[in-house]
């Protein structure tokens, strides 16, 4: 197991190297320059280029970036002067991550409960109702839900604050719910179909033939087996949620990383774009690694390979 994790970590570093390389050269292809203020004289631009090391040959720039990136230094933002990219990300990522983690926990737990309830009541009213709810949850985008939640619970019945972050936990309730609906719906549908399959499997029949009650059959046999494929779904979902939602952050005025990522693109803030992309990639890979480790814990068949 330890050997397996080490192997995966080595692979992760190699993938990270590929991501850094690809982002670096893609940035070079991008047209335009960050220094497009008409007030800048050519001498000033030359000075800026020198200050940021943009006058060096490309391969030197690349090596520089690569070495620094592995040290955790993604350079200095063009947009916010004197702010290092690592610091910017360090300020904003935890906010997005907290929101995402809350949404993930709420969404996954709701999905597991609703999916199992749906499967156990297959083809009756409860299943039908949950089917409608989960279809709506998947098809209505989170920003529309965000606006609806804002109107209903922030304005019509002012139960929660409508914007801001960090002053009180109640500020995070509405964005968490808005973000949690889609994962909850996806997990519900997935768990439903996995659970239906598990409940009709031979080993569940055998468990019933042992004289176990339906509750024991579901909790001891069906749940664990239907969790295995669900885990593979949750990994990438977690990465997506933890790295922030641009739209939800904008609607609820949350100073998260998603908001900053988008604003850095039109201003051609290359270091911020690259830094954020690399952090996103890293988080996705770490989440997938964690998922695989969890899968190995749940599924003995994976453990031995």
Partner 1 sequence: MSNPILRVENLHVNFNTYAGTVQAIRDVSFDLNQGETLAIVGESGSGKSVTTKTLMGLNAKNAVIPENSRLLFKDKNLLELSEEEWQHVRGNEIAMIFQDPMTSLDPTMKIGQQIAEPLIKHQELSEKDALARALELMKGVGIPNAEEHINDYPHQWSGGMRQRAVIAIALAADPEILIADEPTTALDVTIQAQILNLMKQLQKQSNSSIIFITHDLGVVAGMADRVAVMYAGKIVEYGTVDEIFFNPQHPYTWGLLNSMPTTDTAEGSLQAIPGTPPDLLEPPLGDAFAPRNSYALAIDSKEEPPFFKISDTHYAATWLLDERAPKVTPPAQILKRWARWEELQGQEA
Q: Which residues bind partner 1 (CB under 8 A)?
A: 201-203, 205-214, 216, 220-221, 224-225, 228, 298-301, 304
Complex with partner 1: residue 21 or 123, whichever CB lies closer: 123
Shortest CB 212 distance to partner 1, Å? 6
Main-chain phi, psi angles of 224, to 5 degrees: -60, -40
**CB neighbours of 281 closer than 8 A, spacing ≥ 6?**
15, 16, 19
268-273-277 Cα angle (round to 5): 160
**CB neighbours of 91 closer than 8 A, spacing ≥ 6?**
255
What is d(CA 195, CA 72) in angstroms, rounded to the nearest whole number? Answer: 43
**CB neighbours of 272 closer than 8 A, spacing ≥ 6?**
77, 78, 79, 85, 88, 260, 261, 264
Complex with partner 1: residue 3 or 301, whichever CB lies closer: 301
What is d(CA 34, CA 109) in angstroms, rounded to the nearest whole number? Answer: 44
Complex with partner 1: residue 2 or 209, whichever CB lies closer: 209
- Identify the three-state secondary structure at position 84: strand
Q: At what angle do helices 270-298 and 223-242 cross, to 10 degrees?
A: 170
DSSP-assigned letter for residue 217: I
Distances (CA, A) of 102 to 106, 244, 249: 6, 12, 14
What is d(CA 174, CA 168) in angstroms, rounded to the nearest whole number? Answer: 12
Q: Which residue has the tokens 């509750």?
A: 215
Strand partners for 76: 84
- Identify the three-state secondary structure at position 76: strand
Shortest CB 123 distance to partner 1, Å? 10
Shortest CB 235 distance to partner 1, Å? 19
- Identify the three-state secondary structure at position 211: coil
């Amino acid at each position: 197991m330890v050997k397996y994790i080490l192997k995966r970590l080595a692979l992760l570093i190699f993938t990270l190297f590929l991501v850094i390389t690809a982002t670096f050269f893609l940035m070079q292809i991008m047209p335009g320059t960050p220094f497009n203020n008409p007030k800048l004289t050519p001498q000033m631009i030359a000075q800026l280029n020198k200050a940021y090391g943009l006058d060096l040959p490309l391969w030197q720039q690349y090596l520089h970036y690569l070495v620094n990136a592995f040290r955790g230094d993604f350079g200095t933002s063009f947009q916010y002067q004197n702010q290092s990219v690592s610091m910017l990300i360090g300020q904003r990522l935890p906010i997005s991550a907290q929101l995402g983690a809350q949404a993930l926990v709420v969404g996954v737990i709701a999905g597991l409960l609703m999916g199992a309830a749906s499967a156990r009541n297959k083809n009756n009213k409860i299943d039908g109702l949950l089917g409608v709810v989960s279809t709506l949850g998947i098809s209505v985008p989170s920003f529309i839900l965000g606006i609806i939640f804002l109107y209903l619970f922030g304005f019509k019945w002012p139960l929660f604050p409508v914007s801001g972050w960090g002053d009180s936990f109640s500020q995070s309730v509405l964005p968490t719910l808005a973000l949690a609906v889609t994962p909850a719906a996806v997990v519900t549908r997935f768990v439903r179909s996995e659970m239906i399959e598990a409940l009709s499997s031979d080993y569940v029949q055998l468990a019933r033939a042992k004289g176990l009650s339906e509750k024991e059959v579901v909790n001891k046999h069906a749940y664990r087996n239907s969790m295995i494929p669900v885990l593979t779904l949750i990994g990438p979902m977690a990465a997506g949620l933890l790295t922030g939602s641009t739209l939800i952050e904008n609607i609820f005025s949350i100073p998260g990383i998603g908001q900053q990522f988008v604003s850095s693109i039109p201003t051609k803030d290359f270091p911020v774009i690259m830094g954020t992309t690399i952090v996103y990639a890293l988080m996705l890979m770490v989440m997938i690694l964690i998922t695989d480790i969890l899968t190995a814990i749940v599924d003995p068949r994976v453990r031995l390979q």
